[in-house]
Amino acid sequence: MYKCHMASTFIAGFFMPVFKNDGKNTITLTKKRIVKTTITFGVFLCYLVYNLFSLQFINYAHYQNKVYDQITTSSALKAKRGNIYDSNMNLLATDKTVWRIFVSSREIKKCEKSSNISYTEIISSGLSEILGLDKDTLHKKISNSNVLDITVKKSVSESEYKQVLEFIKNKSLEDMVFTEAQTSRYYPEGTLAAHVLGFVGSDLQGLYGLEYSYDSLLRGTDGYYLYAKDANGNSLPIEYSTYIAPTDGYSIVTTIDSYLQSELESQLETIRINHSVQNRVTGIVMDTSTGAILAMATSSPFDPNSPYELDSVSRLMLKNSNFEEGSDEYKAYKKELLEEMWSNKAVSETYEPGSTFKIVTVSSALDAGAASVNDTFSCHGYLSVGGWNIRCHKKGGHGSGFSLGYGLQMSCNPTMMTIAERLGAEKFYEYVEKFGYLEKTGIDLPSEAGAIFHKPENIGTTELATASFGQRFKVSVIRQLTSICAVANEGKAVTPYVVEKVIDAEGNVIQEHEHEATNQVISKEVASVVSKILEEGVSGDGGAKNAAVEGYKIAAKTGTSEKFDVLDANGNSYLRIGSTVAYSMSDDGGIAVIIVVDEPTSSVKYGSYVAAPYVSAFMTKALPYLGYESSVASSEIKIENYVGYTVSEAKKKLEELGISYEVIGKGDTVIKQTPSENDVFVYKNSKVILYTDLDTELYAIVPNTVGLSVEEANKLLINSGLNVKIANLSIKEGKATVVSQSIPEGSVVSKNSVVLLEILYLDFED
């Protein structure tokens, strides 16, 4: 009762202040207070209504999203990255499924608590054994966390994945160990065309090569799946979800031919080994009329499936660095080796082209009228220019009264300096620009290097002289080959490219390469004259004769340039780059090949020796494969397997081939033959031994033929009871020398076995 009285007094006091007990004043004041109170509540009500209206209408989307963010989660739906194909639709890069293995440490601890079983020990022990992980590290990782998702291994193979599933099933770990299918980039051919293809990062974003250049087309657009969740991340039993399908990336079809690519890579690795190359070998094969890149490689190729693993050569360099493993110096050097290994030497690095540039000098002088094929020249081993005696590679000189063609074929420096002087610095620079040396080729590969050439105002007499034979400026290998292809392509420039077309999943063409209008760099007539000079230098006694290919017309130029980046203690250059550029001559176009050998350490470092023979070996296989017809019938004679034949049947077959034979034994049936069916012959004086009784088999000791002429080697082997095969038939016997034989000296082999000889011309410097 007392409380009620006090409350009444308080309310009365609030509405009726006690001044005077005057009724009129009291009523007036009460009305005022009621008005104030009503206004106050009205304002508050308006504020409340405004906020409700704002929540429901004005800012509805904003607050709706905030609520959705709190109760929903999304799962990314990765788009499939497009494939990369070679020109014959052989798969070079694609996506494949791998699996992520992860555990819930929260669930592991919960299960351990309820069952008193050490699941941490069981899981860390089992998974480490299956996945090749460190058990203690995994045990510590699980023990020191209390989360729903700990990645154990990001990318496991299908066999590992199946073992993990079996492990989960056998140990009843379904609530603790999980697998998740993911996408990984896969290169089915391993190291093939690695520097062209490049590779991707862990997020499947292109990082190098075509994967980088065409990333926007290859990667597609990711989708997602949105669904409701509770505070613990569990799906809620309400219908709220959104599904946006991913858009897969487009695929690209390249101009690369896997067979030619493989053959080129094989030649480059052979060069690297045979000539102990310190700074890698690179090569390119291009269609001379279109600019399509048929093959491009650098030794030693890395595996884009494991791009962060050093190749064997780089691993050895790291091992021999004497840096302590794990040290800052070790890590820095490894990073440097990785970046060098990834670098596409054919596109991203520059070199001094040396004598292969003489093709440009002669073409420019003929096109400008500064020289003609009828001019005669002299070479005394040097030419005085600007107070310097700039020497020729042939110290005694080439004599006097020889033609411009001979000067190019013999790679005479004074001849080049003479015609460059006639051309003049301004005109010379103009042709350098016309041949494209002052700009990048525009090839659709990343990180193309630009040329480093003299500024016009800095080309004095000395600079003009040295530039005329390809020294004291730098270009990329792709730039050099592209410029030479202008001569091969009737004087018209070409633009190199690697991607022929872009297609969708159904094979529909989305984009296709469009050939650009070509510039006429030099006249068709001049291009024809220069090509003929170069071809005669190969088929005749020129410096590029080691690049000859039997049955085909090959135009070629070798080169050897000095490296001035590194000097010895006396300030002299001692490192060399040997190279050869060549192209096939055909009415239907052809192919051009360049091989650049950076820092060979073999006794002979000239391009005519370290590059030309391998260009020949490549073209010997490439030209027939591409359908170019040989002008001569093959001089090789292939024999059959006569084992099981009667002696009379075998004799008849051999007589039809024009091959002599000898029968060893008294039986009527051939039980063994030498050579076997896999051997082919070059000379008609080859002999086949037919054995009818193995007890009477005869043997021969292989002599040493290295350093002998072909005639001397052939005679020695035949007299030893052996057969002969020449590896490079295109080389004429004349001055050619045997540089290697297939069977080592002193080997004991069946009589009439075939010894394969490699012969080269060793009488030329460039």
**Residue 589: predicted pLDDT:** 84
457 and 589, same structural domain? yes
In one-letter notation, the amino acid at residue 688 is V
Q: Give the separation between CA 522 and CA 248, rounded to whole angstroms.
A: 46
- State whether residue 292 is helix, strand or coil: strand
The answer to whether residue 716 is domain-embedded is yes
Range of the domain at 701: 637-760
Residue 1 pLDDT level (bands cut at 50, 70, 90):
very low
Helix axes 105-115, 135-143, angle to 10 degrees: 80
Q: Are 611 and 386 in contact (CB under 8 A)?
A: no
Q: Are 545 and 557 in contact (CB under 8 A)?
A: no
Instruction: Of 96-100, 351-355, 659-663, give the range with the top mean pLDDT.
Output: 351-355
The answer to whether residue 645 is domain-embedded is yes
The answer to whether residue 282 is domain-embedded is no
136 and 10, same structural domain? no
- Mean pLDDT lowest for which of 10-24, 521-535, 651-665? 10-24
**Residue 133: predicted pLDDT:** 92
In CATH, what number is assigned to the domain containing residue 152? 3.90.1310.10
Q: Are 58 and 48 in contact (CB under 8 A)?
A: no
26 and 105, same structural domain? no
Model pTM score: 0.82
**DSSP string for residues in 609-665:** HHTHHHHHHHHHHHHHHTTPPPSS----EE----TTSBHHHHHHHHHHHT-EEEEES
**Residue 84: predicted pLDDT:** 98
100 and 12, same structural domain? no
| pLDDT tens for each residue of 458-509 | 999 999 999 999 999 999 999 999 999 999 999 999 999 999 999 999 999 9
| pLDDT tens for each residue of 152-200 | 998 888 899 999 999 999 988 988 999 888 889 999 999 999 999 999 9
Average pLDDT over every residue of 536-556 = 94
9 and 137, same structural domain? no
- Helix count (H) and strand count (E) of the chain? 25, 31
Count of domains forming the chain? 4
- pLDDT(424) > 90: yes
**Residue 225: predicted pLDDT:** 66
632: left (phi over 0), alpha (psi -120 to 50) or beta: beta
**Residue 751: predicted pLDDT:** 85
- Return the percentage of the chain with pLDDT > 70, whole number: 90
In CATH, what number is assigned to the domain containing residue 685? 3.30.10.20
Q: Match 């990765």 to its residue by tokens.
A: 78
In CATH, what number is assigned to the domain containing residue 371? 3.40.710.10
The answer to whether residue 647 is domain-embedded is yes
Q: Which two tokens stand for residue 407?
A: 């000067």
**Residue 180: predicted pLDDT:** 86
601 and 657, same structural domain? no
118 and 6, same structural domain? no
**Which of 251, 267, 295 is at the close of a domain?**
251
477 and 501, same structural domain? yes
Question: What are the CB-based long-range contacts (under 8 Å, 24+) for 306-309?
Answer: 307/199, 307/208, 307/342, 308/338
117 and 51, same structural domain? no
Identify which of 404, 405, 459, 407 has the alpha carbon closest to the alpha carbon of residue 430: 459
The answer to whether residue 269 is domain-embedded is no
Q: Give the separation between CA 611 and CA 274, rounded to whole angstroms.
A: 11
| pLDDT tens for each residue of 563-583 | 998 888 888 999 999 999 999
Contacts (Cβ under 8 Å, ≥6 apart) of 533: 362, 373, 404, 405, 408, 409
Residues facing residue 178 across a β-bridge:
102
Surface-to-core class of residue 480, CB atoms within 10 Å of its CB (0-12 exposed, 13-18 middle, 19+ buried): buried
**Residue 182: predicted pLDDT:** 82
Residue 658 pLDDT level (bands cut at 50, 70, 90):
confident
Question: What are the CB-based long-range contacts (under 8 Å, 24+) for 633-639?
Answer: 634/551, 635/550, 635/682, 635/729, 636/680, 636/681, 636/682, 636/729, 637/680, 637/681, 637/682, 637/684, 637/686, 638/680, 638/681, 639/675, 639/677, 639/679, 639/680, 639/681, 639/688
732 and 593, same structural domain? no
**Which of 595, 625, 655 is at the close of a domain?**
625
Q: Give the separation between CA 393 and CA 110, rounded to whole angstroms.
A: 82
Q: Match 């550029």 to its residue by tokens.
A: 581
Q: Which two tokens stand for residue 471?
A: 């020294």
705 and 594, same structural domain? no
155 and 247, same structural domain? yes
Residue 745 pLDDT level (bands cut at 50, 70, 90):
very high
The answer to whether residue 294 is domain-embedded is no
Q: Are 716 and 709 in contact (CB under 8 A)?
A: no
**Which of 590, 625, 660 is at the close of a domain?**
625
Q: Match 């997020």 to its residue by tokens.
A: 203
β-pairing verdict for 84-85 and 251-254: parallel
Which of 196 and 14 is assigned the larger pLDDT? 196
Q: Which two tokens stand for residue 567?
A: 């000097």
- Give the count of alpha carbons within 13 A of 726, CB side only: 23
The answer to whether residue 281 is domain-embedded is no
The answer to whether residue 213 is domain-embedded is yes
**DSSP string for residues in 346-389:** HHH-EE--GGGGHHHHHHHHHHHTS--TT-EEEESSEEEETTEE
Identify which of 534, 545, 632, 543 has the alpha carbon closest to the alpha carbon of residue 583: 534
Identify which of 434, 433, 469 has the alpha carbon closest to the alpha carbon of residue 453: 433
675 preceded by cis ω (within 30°)?
A: yes
